[in-house]
Amino acid sequence: MISSLSASNQQFINNLQQITGELNDDALAISSGVEMREVSDNPDQVSELLQARAALATSQQISTNLSSVTTEVNTGEQALQTAVQQFDLVQTLGAQGATGTQTASSRAALALQLQTIEQQFVGLANTNIGGRYIFAGDQDQTAPYIYDPTQANPVSAYQGSPSTRITQDAEGGTFPIALTAQQIFDSSDPTTNVFTAINNLITALNNNDQTATAAQVNGLANVAVYLNTQLAFYGTTQDSLTAATNFAQTQQTQLQSQISTLQDTDMTSAITDMTQTQTQEQAALAAEGRIPRTTLFDFLVS
């Protein structure tokens, strides 16, 4: 299309359009708070921005996972705290049963209390959170143990599987987050097996056998140490989760700052630039208004 405007007028309009475009860009940057809205806005920084966004998304997902795992580990730690306290009671009751002042009926009464505690241990081993048996290993939809008081050994064989559960931290490392009920309560070593220790003590008390009861009581300290070691695993895991969560939060703050620097509007600079551009626009319009205009009518009336 051929323009009917003079060269000077066309140049003025082109300049005015450029100024208007700059004003619109400044206004949009200020109102949206985002400087880089398209690749063409700052192509040199696009790759860095995309990498920062991807790293932020990954770190946020890790934080979500860590939060879920923390709930599970805290529940496991609380269950083991209860188990350690209950085993202290097992030792107390066993020590009472080993004294020479006890009778067959009093030892039977102690055995009955221990049976209740044994059932409570099975309940702890079967701790469930969110539909998952957290001590059942990878086969977490099945309760690790069944308790049947009619059996000589009322605690069933372990129904779960080994645990391969680990979690990832924001630094790229991994660490285990769970033990199985078999590891905790049903050790392959009979000298550290909680269920075996309680059941053998119950048998000795029901048999009114002071010597056997005393022998079983002597072995309880070793089981208690082992149980506390399992508790310590969960305490260490809690510390690892706290450190990983704190690192991820710090990382996300840094990434958000980096993203903001790359894409967000520098308000002071944008407002200053907009003010200067408005001044240029006003000056251009004023200058154009002062240009003399000579028309055919001017020649006719002269």
Q: What are the residue ranges spanned by the domains of the chain?
A: 73-229
pLDDT of residue 223: 98
Spell out a b/e string for 118-141, using b for 16 or more CB atoms within 10 Å of the CB, else e. Answer: beebbebbbbeeeeebbbbbeebe
Tell me the one-letter amino acid at 70. T
| First CA to last CA distance, the chain | 36
pTM of the model: 0.72
Answer whether CATH 1.20.1330.10 is correct for domain 73-229.
yes
Alpha carbons 51 and 53: distance in angstroms, whole number: 5
pLDDT of residue 270: 46
Q: What is the secondary structure of 16-82 as a DSSP string? A: HHHHHHHHHHHHHHHHH-BS--SGGG-GGGHHHHHHHHHHHHHHHHHHHHHHHHHHHHHHHHHHHHH
pLDDT of residue 48: 87
The label of the residue with tokens 């990878």 reads 138
Q: Which helix (H) or strand (E) holds 134?
A: none
pLDDT of residue 181: 98
Chunked into runs of 10 residues, the chain (302 residues) has average pLDDT values of 55 60 52 49 72 92 94 97 98 97 97 98 97 96 96 95 92 93 97 98 98 98 98 97 95 91 60 57 59 55 52
- DSSP letter, residue 138: T
pLDDT of residue 284: 57
Give the pair of three-digit tokens for residue 141: 């939809």
pLDDT of residue 217: 98
pLDDT of residue 12: 55
Per the CB < 8 A criterion, the answer to whether 145 and 155 are in contact is: yes
Q: Which helix (H) or strand (E) holds 175?
A: strand 174-176
The label of the residue with tokens 């979690």 reads 167
pLDDT of residue 172: 86
Alpha carbons 38 and 74: distance in angstroms, whole number: 45
Give the pair of three-digit tokens for residue 56: 């932020």
| Exposed/middle/buried for residue 289 (C-beta within 10 Å: 0-12, 13-18, 19+) | exposed
